Chains A and B, each alone.
Chain A
Amino acid sequence: MAGTPFPFAALLERPDIWRGDSLSRTGTPAVPSGFPELDAELPGGGWPAGALTEVLPAHEGIGELRLLGPALAALSNRGLRLAWISPPHLPYAPALAAAGIDIAMLVVVRTTSPIETLWAAEQALVSNACGAVLAWPQGAKYAELRRLQIAAEGGRAPAFLFRSPQIAGEPSPAALRIALGTAAAGGLAVHVLKRRGAPLARSLLLPAIPPAVRGKNHHVDRHPAAPAAARDFLARLVHA
């Protein structure tokens, strides 16, 4: 064969070539999660924009919303809408406001069937009118998720799907899949099951704890009522 040998190194420089053992950092639009240690492990440095993210909390209430809080706050304060599609309970506005989320940017969509939930999520993504789409689909199939992923790719919004941890073994078209568990120190353990890049073996520990609980980990407060209340009251007086 004649001609110059193809420079292999030059090939690797191409931006559309992705090496399996490295994280792609450029060209992936992302929304910072607000947790530096998590951002460091996510391609593009945050929640993937224009893509699906599956959040699989071990059980409800483990901290799945606290994890998204900083990103949602940043998006809403930039005047972007947050669509909550078929949430399991009423999102409680005082807590959202306390997390810095502009409630005026929030819209809650209630659906009566899983098909409607997927449809509404797809509409929200296709419209490109939302800063973030949060959806709680029930028993979605691969083909339906693929549809959502394609809908998300047309826009700039990160799409979060909250699903049961039982489906962790099923294939998914989502760009990012994270499972949430609890950690010994009372923080949130984040396992990145899938990302655009090499798999992440270790899990991350995030300090996503409500302020009231900080410093009260794993010791039984024998008289929780009076002293805690007095402390809180004094603290609020000082703040006021």
Chain B
Amino acid sequence: MRGWSTPEPFAVEERHRVFACDRKALARGVRAGMAVSAALALAPRLRVVPRDPAAETEALLGVSGWAAQFSPGVALEFPDGVLLEVSGSLKLFGGLEPLLERLHRGLAEMGWSATLAGAPTPRAAFWLALAGKREFIDSVAELEAALAALPVGVLRCGDGTLEALEAIGVRTLGELRALPREGVARRLGQELLDKIDRALGLLSDPRNFFIPPARFRAAIELPAEVTQAEALLFAARRLIVQLCGFLAARSGGVQRFVLGLRHRDRAATEVAIGLVAPSRDIEHFTLLARERLFSLALAEPVREITLQADDVVPLAGRNLGLLLEEGKAAGDWEHLVERLRARLGTDAVCGLVLRAEHRPEHVVCVGEPDSKQLHLDFGERPFWLLARPKRIAEIGAVPHHEGPLELLAGPERIESGWWDGDDVARDYFVARMQNEALVWIYRERRGEGGWYLHGVFA
């Protein structure tokens, strides 16, 4: 069950009975199985929502996709269990304790409360968790004693069978096993005994492993309509944790993901977040989402957040050098570019690319940072180029820009570009201003002529 930081207690009902409730409701005395009216009497501000099997299934699939990063063997136990075959993963994660720690932390970060239990057989592990026992049993020998103490409710057989068991005074699996097998099989069905035998490992219990979908798509319905970016980020982070677990399971990363903010009446607001290089870093994704969500002007409160990532690309492992390489900055360049772009816009961060061109304004084009470069040799060029040439005065055959200019070098004739209609014919000079600044000016050779300032040497 997903917890929220809302002040009201929360419960799910099914057929007018409380099916599950959160800790705040538990603290007020609300228990599963209680009538909704009784629960409301105990906690008048209790928010009760009907049980939604579709949402439960989706949540279970989401958790399974996330959990696949810990083991390739993930099986589902509908409607509320996820089984992980971890014996092969223990070495990778450094033993059971570190693995449990990661499972606990990840589930908590996604907002789930869960009971973790382990046993040599999947059914026994599931039953332990169902009974709320956080136990880890690693030998078949101890299994029998542990299972004997479990209530018969974990069998999840029909209400009729449970009532029959209660009527004959059988409360635990141990008491059930103590009864003669033939009699139990005849009165309650062979199925019941087979279940217990599977849990004990006496019968085989094959499982279909869960196959994660190719694309990631997850949603969180918010407990109340939300307008604050902080609350949106809180929910988005839960989805991001789930996404990163999903990506880790596939050894992949994404270069783009889309946060969708659904409103009551309007079309959803889509926030696409792009990255320079594929990644699956939770903190980095959260940071980018933060920049975008905090700069967003919401037209309407948000009811639901979705996270979608379509193209999962394999993320190559990186070899680290033995020593820190001298000269290489320790920081992460891609992350910096993404952060800047998330706030300032994609176009605001660019690299420069040289082109084989004679016209000064066409030599440089703006490209991606890290573009490949030509090696070209030009004449004397200024460090600053004006966005567009600035007309300057000519007084007595001498160009003036804040006083007369003194020509130091030139002319360098540039005549080019007749093929694309943007042709130029200019004589360029290096000139010195009265205040000693050096500028790059040219005399237009076509039309009415005149002098233009085009660059500053700096």
Contacts and interface: CB of A to CB of B under 8 A. Distances in A.
Interface stretch (A103-111, A137-145, A169-177, A197-205): A103-111
A62 B438 CA distance: 7
Given A61-B439, A63-B458, A224-B407, A104 B383 contact: no
B336 A61 contact: no
B313 to A, nearest CB: 22
B382 interface: yes
Interface stretch (A4-12, A40-48, A213-221): A213-221
B387 interface: yes
Interface residues on B, range: 35 or more
A179 B406 CA distance: 25
Interface in B317-373: 327-333, 335-337, 339-340, 343-344, 347-354, 360, 363-364, 366, 369-373
A54 interface: no
A206 interface: no
A27 interface: no
B384 A89 contact: yes
Contact of B379 (A110, A124, A232): A232
Given A116-B343, A211-B380, A212-B409, A93 B457 contact: no
A61 B433 contact: yes
B386 A228 contact: no
Nearest to A188: B436
A94 B437 CA distance: 19
B349 A109 contact: yes
Contact of B378 (A78, A98, A130): A98
Interface residues of A, number: 63
B216 interface: no
B457 to A, nearest CB: 6
A119 B373 contact: no
B385 A90 contact: yes
Contacts of A61: 384, 433, 437-439, 456-458
Contacts of A79: 327-328
B105 interface: no
Given A128-B330, A128-B331, A106 B456 contact: no
B333 A81 contact: yes
A203 to B, nearest CB: 15
Contacts of A229: 410-412
Interface string B402-441: 0000111111100000000000000101101101111100
A179 to B, nearest CB: 14
Interface string A123-158: 110011111000000000000000000000001110
A96 B351 contact: no
A62 B436 contact: yes
A99 B339 CA distance: 30
B376 interface: yes
Contacts of B386: 89-90
Nearest to A220: B406
Contacts of A89: 384-387, 456
A73 B456 CA distance: 19
Nearest to A216: B408
B458 A66 contact: yes
B381 A94 contact: yes
B364 A94 contact: yes
B345 to A, nearest CB: 9
A104 B351 contact: yes
Nearest to A81: B333
B435 A58 contact: yes
A87 to B, nearest CB: 8
A146 to B, nearest CB: 21
Given A103-B352, A212-B408, A127 B458 contact: no
Contacts of B376: 94, 97
Contact of B329 (A87, A93, A156): A156
Nearest to B349: A109
B411 A225 contact: yes
Nearest to A211: B380
A107 B369 contact: yes
A59 interface: yes
Contacts of A104: 351, 370-373
Nearest to B455: A92
Contacts of B436: 62, 182, 186
A116 B337 contact: no
Contact of A213 (B333, B408, B455, B456): B408
Contacts of B353: 93, 103
Contacts of A71: none
A186 B437 CA distance: 10
Contacts of B350: 107-108, 110
A124 B381 contact: no
A109 B410 contact: no
Contacts of A216: 408-409
B410 A91 contact: no
Contact of B340 (A93, A106, A123): A123
Contacts of A128: 329-331
A231 to B, nearest CB: 9
A37 interface: no
B330 A60 contact: no
A212 B379 CA distance: 9
B439 A116 contact: no
Contacts of A224: 407-411, 429
A128 B323 CA distance: 18
Interface string A185-209: 0100000000000000000000000
B384 A210 contact: no
A56 interface: no
Most central of A87, A93, A130, A155 by chain B CB within 10 Å: A93
19 contacts: A61-B438, A62-B437, A64-B458, A66-B458, A81-B329, A95-B457, A97-B375, A97-B378, A98-B380, A109-B348, A112-B344, A120-B340, A128-B329, A129-B329, A156-B330, A157-B329, A182-B435, A213-B432, A229-B411
Interface of A: 58-66, 78-81, 87-99, 102-104, 106-112, 116, 119-120, 123-124, 127-131, 155-157, 182, 186, 210-213, 216, 220-221, 224-225, 228-229, 232
The 5 closest A-B pairs by CB, nearest first: A61-B437, A128-B331, A129-B331, A182-B436, A212-B380
Given A109-B344, A210-B457, 11 more contacts: A62-B436, A89-B387, A90-B384, A93-B354, A103-B354, A104-B351, A108-B351, A108-B352, A116-B344, A213-B430, A216-B409
